[in-house]
Structure 1
């Protein structure tokens, strides 16, 4: 039986919900691999690279299923996992090192999208770079590297007064956000995501999902923030609802979102599986927020829900991803 190493983030005793989710993914993938007649072996990726190298060499896996989301608690090191696998010449799932680095560095990804004429909200970096000369009215302060909405809440919204104040707010919040951060123009409107997977005959765009903010007060920001994703007893978690059914009036918008997601796939050289997150303003203009090159594969995650909508069984999707890694 061929071995597949499920390489995951090293989880500490005081891990938060978003970090523990990595183990849930690993268990679900392990069950799928059993159904596909592989022998799954879970292995944490530790910052001691020699230790990780030694274990991988001893295991001699057929391939590695890479779900490393952070290393030593830092999303900014995520590309080390794929770089190490490149060095060892071991086939692995998902995006290659360059795509992993470029998409994980969110301000850099936005700059690449802007040059490719893919619309993304205006932004300001801690270094003072401004993507447009006219400031936005409201900014959302976000982590430059961390995913899973780390440090994001309704207090992350800042009304613009002047450049100096915005820079001060970023510097004040950077520790909570895991280090480097940036300010992104807040797009008041609807939120969507598009999942993609490498199928038997090329990339497949899965059904579009919209996030609904049920019973939110008029003055409450409509954000998929940390609570909405991870705090099960919170108002945000229980009232942020995913939907896949759309009125015919949305047909052109959904088609545009799918087309833009495919452009992002090609632009960054994505592979295996990915997700593109959007906001759509009140004029119907889509803005790409982020590209996630290794989205969550937990049974209750949005990617899995999109697979269900596409009538693709979970273990079949895992099989597609494995086969793509061996091409």
Structure 2
């Protein structure tokens, strides 16, 4: 098949997405597919050959690596020469329309909040992963937690904030501690803070103003961080994360050796079963298809606390879903092909 691998975009997770896209492209080519890797935001800008030649173009070496810091999106915007204001760079959507399918290697709001999926739906272009509605719900942490709480799935107490700088002193006086402050619709732990003091809470809320003053403040639960992937409506083996730093932040996620990742997670069989059941329940409740990855905390009493769900999990060299698939006997190339095949079936339905 001819497949466009759509990566990059204008998101704090841009660098992660480029790395995912590079690996997916090479995996699909190794399985006999024609795969063209395209940065959604820049499109064909700077490409001098015919669009069809992208299917054989080498993967940029710089895209394989992930910088330890999130990108400066203002600088990314300024570097695009094309004057258009859209998220699809010149020629990107046209290239997608000429392919048999689009493999979404996007991460973050520009690729996981349902807008790209809706655009491709309207254009009649098949793509991988969940549809636009499930993607939009899952990206909204508050809405996802509301649905889970109503369904009896345990999730830490939280409060959703839309605030300005003038609201911060009052919020610091009334929000309970310890807490986790996270952007409403972010990923890769960008902008996430665990705070134990009023001063730390104030600093975290100040940082949250940079992402629009929309945040979820969640009760902090100490315990083991465990994540569970779902592939084709079946749970994959759980993986436990043991960061060597303070917590599993952006740097610990993508710097090799910064965290110990154990898969299958060393948990009792009964706890593994409950984790898998909960991951599947959330996946179905939100209306997702093909694949996802749910994040949990297991406290000292063995209780499972759902944190959030990811509709386009990372596919980088250090990402968790490929590790879980490998533990289930699924190679990286097979994982990519199964995602593609199941997604085409989902779009046909």
TM-score above 0.5: yes
TM-score by length of 2: 0.75
CA displacement, residues 267-309 of structure 1 (integer Å, 9 cap, x when unaligned): 0121122100000111111000110010001132111111111
Task: Please give the alpha-carbon distance, in whole angstroms, between the structure 1 residues aligned to 2:143 and 2:181.
Answer: 16
Quote the RMSD (CA, aligned, Å): 2.9
Question: In the alignment, what sits opposite 1:24?
Answer: 19
Structure 2 contact 40–92 (Cα < 8 Å) conserved: no
Question: Are the counterparts in 2 of residues 195 and 306 from structure 1 also a CA contact under 8 Å?
Answer: yes
| Structure 2 counterpart of 1:60 | 98
- Matched residue SS, 1:298: coil
Q: Is the partner of 1:290 in helix, strand or coil?
A: strand
**Which secondary structure does the structure 2 equivalent of 1:110 belong to?**
helix
1:4–1:65 Cα contact (<8 Å) kept: yes
Name the CA shift for 1:76/1:92 in 2 (closer, same or farther; >3 Å): closer
Secondary structure of 1:175's aligned partner: helix
Count of paired positions: 292
**Residue in 2 that maps onto 1:303:** 321
Aligned to 1:244: 263
5 Å matches for 1:10-89? 10=9, 18-46=13-41, 48-49=85-86, 55-58=92-95, 59-70=97-108, 78-89=113-124
* Map of 1:285 onto structure 2: 303
Is the CA contact (8 Å cut-off) linking 2:9 and 2:110 kept in structure 1?
A: no
- Find the aligned partners of 1:324 and 1:48 in 2 and give their Cα distance: 33
| Partner residue, 2:272 | 254
8 Å Cα contact 1:76-1:105 kept in structure 2: no
Matches within 5 A, 1:79-228: 79-127=114-162, 136-153=176-193, 156-159=194-197, 171-176=205-210, 179-198=213-232, 203-214=233-244, 221=246, 223-228=247-252
Render the CA deviation track for 1:31-53: whole Å, top value 9, x for unaligned.
Answer: 12112222111222238449558
Contact kept in structure 2, 1:65 and 1:92, CA below 8 Å: yes
Deviation at 1:55, TM superposition (A): 3.7
SS at match of 2:104: strand
CA deviation profile, 1:126-155 (whole Å, cap 9, x unmatched): 149xxxxx97541111111110010235xx
**CA deviation map 1:203-245 (0-9, x unaligned):** 221111111245x7xxxx5x21223113x3xxxx645211125
Distance 1:90 1:256 in 2: 37
Structure 2 segments unaligned to the other structure (5+ residues): 42-83, 164-173
- Which is further off, 54-63 or 288-297? 54-63
Aligned match of 2:166? none
Identify unmatched segments of 5+ residues in structure 1: 129-133
Secondary structure (helix, strand or coil) at the match of 2:289 reads: coil
